């Protein structure tokens, strides 16, 4: 079991999360690395934070923990990036996606509250593989789906966001398949996530999925989030978003495969 008294205040060490059996130094190292990579991806491409963080943290921690912490950190990242992306946001599409998300999110949060940890891990890994595989294969829509398509994608995103904190991937798949410009895609992601995450956090709090230890862990993660988002944002201005998105998706597939094997082994 981890001894944190030499690095953290006594009040933090007393939190349940730091006395959990899984909270070893190796687990914390995996979580720190996952946080930095996820924050860099968020700052650069506007998506991938939730998927990267949940996929990496789920390797060492109970799935419900990274989902709750991710929502709190997503809110912080959206506030940090709001000013720079404002002129590029497709507000009509954001509104339609949010209409669908309002329908799908409560169902996702309900799944998180009742599903077994290993089953959730299996769902997370499978969801990552399917979405990332489609994006890497260059999937594209043959015709525009219009407003009903945006609402349907928003519903799928809300369901995934509430259950696994990976609501960005359905939207990423849809916008990438629609041929949206990188700057508009990045800005639309950030604008869409902010109200969606507020709604998800509220529902999680009502179900008791966000507690003192979750809030403290989110606060501890804030410096890493700031560093990653700032570096990712600078890299976005100097490099191709498509190139980094591809690298992010490849990493996600690797993490998903690891999580899939682990979940299947535990279930069997």
**Contact indicator for 148, 96 with CB cutoff of 8 Å:** no
**Contact indicator for 174, 148 with CB cutoff of 8 Å:** no
Instruction: Tell me the per-residue pLDDT of 51-84, one tens digit each, with 9 for 90 and over.
Output: 788 878 878 887 777 878 888 998 899 888 888 8
- Top-confidence range, 100-104, 123-127, 132-136, 250-254: 100-104
Q: Which pLDDT band, with edges at 50, 70 and 90, does 34 fall under?
A: very high
Residue 130: closest CA among 265, 249, 258, 267: 249
Q: Is the pLDDT at 6 greater than 50, yes or no?
A: no
Q: Is the pLDDT at 166 greater than 80, yes or no?
A: no
Interatomic CA distance for residues 232 and 56, integer angstroms: 19
Residues 6+ apart with CB under 8 A from 52: 34, 37, 38, 41, 248, 251, 252, 255
pLDDT of residue 36: 95
**Could you tell me how many residues make up the chain?**
268
Q: Which pLDDT band, with edges at 50, 70 and 90, does 224 fall under?
A: very high
Interatomic CA distance for residues 108 and 243, integer angstroms: 31
Q: Is the pLDDT at 142 greater than 70, yes or no?
A: no
pLDDT of residue 38: 92
Q: Is the pLDDT at 201 greater than 80, yes or no?
A: yes
Q: What is the pTM of this model?
A: 0.75
- Top-confidence range, 23-32, 133-142, 244-253: 23-32
Mean pLDDT over residues 173-202, rounded?
82
Least confident of 173-182, 183-192, 199-208: 173-182
Mean pLDDT over residues 13-30, rounded?
72
The whole-angstrom distance between residue 59's C-alpha and the CA centroid of its chain comes to: 15
**Contact indicator for 16, 213 with CB cutoff of 8 Å:** yes
Mean pLDDT over residues 205-232, rounded?
88
How far are the Cα atoms of 22, 86, 117, 126, 258 from residue 164, in angstroms, in the given order? 20, 27, 11, 11, 16
As a whole number, the mean pLDDT across the chain is 80
């Amino acid at each position: 079991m981890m001894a944190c008294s030499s690095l953290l205040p006594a009040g933090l060490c007393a939190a349940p999360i730091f006395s959990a059996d899984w909270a070893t130094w190796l687990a914390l190292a995996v979580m720190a690395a996952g946080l930095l990579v996820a924050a860099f991806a968020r700052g650069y491409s506007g998506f991938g934070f939730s998927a990267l963080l949940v996929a990496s943290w789920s390797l060492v921690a109970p799935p419900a923990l990274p989902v709750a912490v991710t929502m709190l950190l997503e809110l912080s990242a959206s506030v940090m990036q709001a000013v720079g992306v404002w002129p590029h946001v497709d507000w009509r599409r954001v509104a339609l996606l949010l209409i669908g998300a309002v329908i799908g999110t409560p169902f996702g949060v309900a799944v998180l509250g009742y599903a077994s940890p290993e089953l959730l891990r299996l769902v997370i890994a499978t969801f990552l593989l399917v979405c990332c595989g489609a994006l890497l294969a260059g999937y594209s829509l043959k015709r525009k789906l219009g407003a009903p398509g945006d609402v349907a994608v928003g519903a799928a995103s809300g369901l995934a966001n509430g259950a696994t904190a990976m609501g960005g991937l359905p939207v990423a798949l849809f916008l990438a398949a629609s041929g949206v410009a990188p700057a508009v895609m990045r800005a639309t992601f950030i604008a869409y996530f902010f109200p969606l995450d507020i709604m998800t956090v509220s529902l999680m709090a009502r179900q008791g999925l966000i507690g003192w230890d979750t809030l403290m862990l989110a606060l501890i993660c804030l410096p890493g989030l700031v560093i990653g988002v700032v570096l990712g944002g600078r890299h976005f201005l100097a490099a191709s978003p498509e190139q980094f998105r591809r690298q992010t998706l490849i990493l996600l597939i690797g993490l998903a495969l690891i999580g899939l094997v682990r979940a299947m082994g535990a279930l069997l």
